[in-house]
A and B are shown apart, each in its own frame.
Chain A
Amino acid sequence: MDRKIGRWVAADVVVLVFGLFPVLWIISLSLKTPATVADGRLIPSEFSFDNYSGIFKEGVFTDALRNSIGIALISTLIAVAIAALAAYAIARLEFPGKSLILLSALAIAMFPPISIVGPLYKVWASVGLYDTWLGLIIPYMTFTLPLAIYTLSAFFREIPWELEQAAQVDGATPAQAFRKIIMPLAAPGIFTTMILVFIFAWNDFVFAVSLTSTSAAQTVPAAISQFPGASQFQQPTGSIAAAAVIVTIPIIIMVLLFQRRIVAGLTAGAVKG
């Protein structure tokens, strides 16, 4: 038994190193001083927060951070609201076209975003959506709908809906039954879906780099990819590393707090058939 445990501990350590090493490396890099950032050492010889104060002093990063947060949150709220209606119908109602909507959702999950970047660019430029928040929110909510619909309908199928009627028999109004019985049961699934959708929107690069150009709507991934150096001869390595750490913090917090939910959400939407 001891040997068995030893083997699992070894496996755990391998996974931890595999998962965390690149993150630890970028954190280490972000803490180097501008003079030593390119010294090729794994651990900084001297620690400093200059890179962080640097990126927060310049407008480029703070604007991008504001755009990222705003766009990801709004896309998440709209996508989950629309998906919740559809998922409720799919989980609870019989209607024609149900398999069609599931099939279209699946097709969109497989859809290559690069295929519609050109048309979107052209249409957005002519209707004034290019380089705006809405110009990114629209594709984000579309591309997260399949994930949201599948995950939510998997969760909604598990809810014991009879309780709603039982509550009404006991004298609750339909609104009360919904608010007091169904909402608390549905909330975990909705919350999980929101996390997954948020991660998608927070992550996107193809649309961000194609449909924005200035700090009006550029998100952090797009902004980092175009960071200028402090001078023409200086690589922006330190700033990139610091910005990379900042955008990773929300992800790490979500993962630490909601590990169970994220795993449940991803696996719930995944197994079908």
Chain B
Amino acid sequence: MSDTTTTPTTTGTDFEKARKKHVSERARAERRLGLMLITPAAIVMAAVTAYPILYAVWLSLQRSDLRFPADSEFVGLRNYITVLSSSLWWSDLGRTVLITVVSVSIELVLGMLLALVMHRALVGRGLVRTASLIPYGIVTVVAAFAWRLAFSKADGGFVPVLFGWETDPLTETWPTIGIAILAEVWKTTPFMALLLLAGLSLVPDELHEAARVDGATAWQRFWKITIPLMKIPILVALLFRTLDAFRIFDSIYILSNTGQNRDVETVSILGYNQLLNQLNLGLGSAISVLIFICVAIIAVFFIKGFGLQTTGERS
């Protein structure tokens, strides 16, 4: 790939020749060591993601039902046609997109506010950081249970009692989705805030100071200085959170009674049910591959669409 020797090309004297040879030998040894050191990581990552996803593609082209193993055969794209022509896939996809868009939007606003508090608070900065790391660290299943047990009438939650609700919100579709979004926002806003905090600390104080002297209000400074300078961190945070929210599984599983309530099903739950409850590996793998494609589309959309450069070395 890249030749990394930095020696001058003009080699007049023997001394320089010897030096070049020495440098390139060193460079070669360095390359060897570098490759050796990354090999374990590269092997593990390829073996546990690249191989299974290719296997999933292959399975998705088969009729492969673990309940009827003898019936396995190559069926081409038939599984994809079945999935893409079912209304279930599209309604689950729509619901997943809705949950993703709503929760990430709320998280961006709350996360920015939280990041500003973490960054600028005159008092209790450490306390705020500690308190907001608890949702980040808490087990998602536990968080989902905390919200479910608070809202569920059947489980004796305090919320229905507090507001005197007649019905159980967890037996209705939209309230359940609302609670799932609430659980998601609560759990991941701190993560969003930490990513944004990293960006906030890149905004030089002098700029704010100068703008203040010129008479800009705090609101103007936020929109004209902070936001433009934070474009990249905001996009990185949005990318990671969007992909993460799109994969939403844990909280829906808990709130939908172990994935049984189809009215709040998301694509990950659909895939899980096909794979591990129906044991239909062919159809389930087709769903898995489609989810993978959706995630790739979101990533490409962010990286190309917004000109987001996420790789490469630190400048």
A210 surroundings in chain B (CB, below 8 A): 272, 275-276
Inter-chain CA distance A20–B275, complex, in Å, is 36
Output the least CB separation between A148 and chain B (Å): 9
Within 8 A of A (CB), among B222-281: 232-233, 236-237, 240, 243, 246-247, 249-250, 253-254, 258, 268, 271-272, 275-276, 281
Known interface pairs A26-B142, A251-B139, A271-B202; A12-B41 also in contact (CB < 8 Å): no
B195 surroundings in chain A (CB, below 8 A): 266-267, 270
Closest A residue to B154 by CB, please name it.
A235
Closest A residue to B275 by CB, please name it.
A118
Complex contact A88–B133 (CB within 8 A): no
Complex contact A12–B42 (CB within 8 A): no
Contact residues of B: prevailing secondary structure? helix
Output the least CB separation between A9 and chain B (Å): 6
Complex contact B55–A123 (CB within 8 A): yes
B139 surroundings in chain A (CB, below 8 A): 202-203, 205, 220-221, 244, 247-248, 251
Output the least CB separation between B100 and chain A (Å): 12
B27 surroundings in chain A (CB, below 8 A): 94
B9 surroundings in chain A (CB, below 8 A): none
Complex contact A118–B250 (CB within 8 A): no
Known interface pairs A29-B149, A145-B45, A259-B129; A270-B194 also in contact (CB < 8 Å): yes
Does B48 sit within 8 A of A, measured CB to CB?
yes
Within 8 A of B (CB), among A233-255: 235, 237, 240-241, 244, 247-248, 251-252, 254-255
Does B10 sit within 8 A of A, measured CB to CB?
no
Complex contact A263–B133 (CB within 8 A): yes
Q: Which of A205, A248, A268, A273 contacts B249 (CB 8 A)?
A: A205
Does A115 sit within 8 A of B, measured CB to CB?
yes
Known interface pairs A12-B128, A145-B45; A255-B284 also in contact (CB < 8 Å): no
Does B103 sit within 8 A of A, measured CB to CB?
no
Complex contact B271–A12 (CB within 8 A): no
Q: Which of B45, B140, B145, B308 contacts A108 (CB 8 A)?
A: B45
Complex contact A272–B150 (CB within 8 A): no
Complex contact A273–B232 (CB within 8 A): yes
Output the least CB separation between A35 and chain B (Å): 11
Inter-chain CA distance A121–B284, complex, in Å, is 12
Among B11-19, B80-88, B116-124, B203-211, the stretch that binds chain A is B116-124
Closest A residue to B308 by CB, please name it.
A273
Known interface pairs A8-B124, A270-B194; A22-B37 also in contact (CB < 8 Å): no
Within 8 A of B (CB), among A34-88: 37-42, 82-83, 85-86, 88
Inter-chain CA distance A8–B113, complex, in Å, is 12
Complex contact B35–A224 (CB within 8 A): no
A-B contact count (CB 8 A): 324
Does A225 sit within 8 A of B, measured CB to CB?
yes
Does A181 sit within 8 A of B, measured CB to CB?
no
Inter-chain CA distance A83–B38, complex, in Å, is 8
Does A183 sit within 8 A of B, measured CB to CB?
no
Q: Which of B48, B133, B249, B299 contacts A259 (CB 8 A)?
A: B133
Inter-chain CA distance A18–B140, complex, in Å, is 16
Among A95-103, A161-169, A172-180, A186-194, the stretch that binds chain B is A95-103
Does A256 sit within 8 A of B, measured CB to CB?
yes
Complex contact B52–A119 (CB within 8 A): yes
A123 surroundings in chain B (CB, below 8 A): 52, 55
Does A127 sit within 8 A of B, measured CB to CB?
no
Closest B residue to A223 by CB, please name it.
B141
Does B170 sit within 8 A of A, measured CB to CB?
no
Contact flags (1/0) for A199-223 with B, using CB distance below 8 Å?
Answer: 1001101100110000000001100
B46 surroundings in chain A (CB, below 8 A): 104
Q: Which of B41, B141, B146 contacts A86 (CB 8 A)?
A: B41
Within 8 A of A (CB), among B105-126: 114, 117, 121-124, 126
Q: A25-B158, A94-B34 are in contact. List 6 more A-B contacts (CB 8 A).
A: A115-B291, A145-B45, A225-B254, A251-B139, A266-B198, A271-B202
5 interchain residue pairs of minimum CB distance: A38-B156, A95-B34, A40-B161, A267-B198, A116-B52
5 contacts between A and B (CB under 8 A): A15-B131, A86-B40, A117-B288, A118-B281, A255-B137
